[in-house]
Structure 1
Amino acid sequence: MTETIAAAEHTTGGLPWWVWLILAALTAAAYKVGEWRWRPFAPCWCCKGSGKHHRKDRKVFRDCWWCRGSGRRKRIGRRVWDRFAKVRNAAR
């Protein structure tokens, strides 16, 4: 009986939970770095990407003060990326 249990425990292979957790964290980090590198802009939070602020009746608008009418903003990670690149280039 104990030989059967021991054999069953031995056949349940696979990776431990902490390895899966590390792999998931590395995958998420790689995704975010790729997003910051190749998709540096996100829709503006203030105007929702339209570049305009509308009056309540939506007949009159003006440019968004946050994105200056472009409808885009830099992602936080891209700001950090650019800052490190600026410091690195200044050190050369």
Structure 2
Amino acid sequence: MGFRLPGIRRASFSANLTSSKCGEVPKGYLAVYAGEKMKRFVIPIAYLNQPSFQDLLSQAEEEFGYDHPMGGLTIHCAEDAFENIISRLNRC
């Protein structure tokens, strides 16, 4: 159950997964750019603690370092691979 504060509504995860507005990242989320076209994803910060996400970060760091010119975390991997990892984390 719970209670709701007037004017505050919780957005669903799917609404926060991608965002076309560069400056809007809700509190508790992180902008991540992945794929050949550097698609922007907005993911929960809690994903940073997940082993599969940490493995992806380690692989990206080994290959490309930590240069993030887009203003968010840049991960050089296939977009579908990134979406696959995110969808698995979402089910947890």
Superposition TM-score, scaled by structure 1 size: 0.22
Structure with the bigger RCO (C-alpha within 8 Å, sep 6+) is 2
More helix by share: 1
TM-score by length of 2: 0.22
